[in-house]
Amino acid sequence: MLTDEYRYKILKLVRNNPTISQRELAIALGVSLGKTNFCLKALVDKGLVKVANFRNSKNKLAYMYVLTPTGLEEKASITVRFLKHKMQEYEALHHEIEALRKEI
């Protein structure tokens, strides 16, 4: 369930906004809150993300997500794999478009 695409997107979103809520993550990912919770828990269990409570927060449910050093390394690795995959998709689409243009 936790594909490279979701792993990449979650790590990117958390890196850019450590105070992002699970609900905001779910909206940004276009998935359910339950799936977002599952994915975040898997990243925490793998040691890629740490979760911390805001100490001075009035909202006791407010959390901050921080990428661990391992998480930063994994994000870099996933980014390379994700880019390669997207480039392959792009090349395939490019060839398909060229073939369709030749048919016209």
Domain boundaries, position 46: 4-103
β-bridge partners, 51 = 65
The predicted pLDDT at position 43 comes to 94
The Cα–Cα gap between 44 and 76 comes to 17
The predicted pLDDT at position 64 comes to 87
Comparing C-alpha atoms, which of 25, 27, 30 is closest to residue 10?
Answer: 25
pTM for the full predicted model: 0.75
Give me the number of domains the chain comprises.
1
Residue-wise pLDDT tens digits, 9-68: 999 999 999 989 999 999 999 999 999 999 999 999 999 999 987 655 565 567 889 899
**CATH number of the domain to which 75 belongs:** 1.10.10.10
The predicted pLDDT at position 57 comes to 55
Intra-chain end-to-end CA distance of the chain, in Å: 41
Higher-confidence residue of 1 and 48: namely 48
Higher-confidence residue of 5 and 62: namely 5
Residue-wise pLDDT tens digits, 60-102: 567 889 899 999 999 999 999 989 999 999 999 999 999 999 9
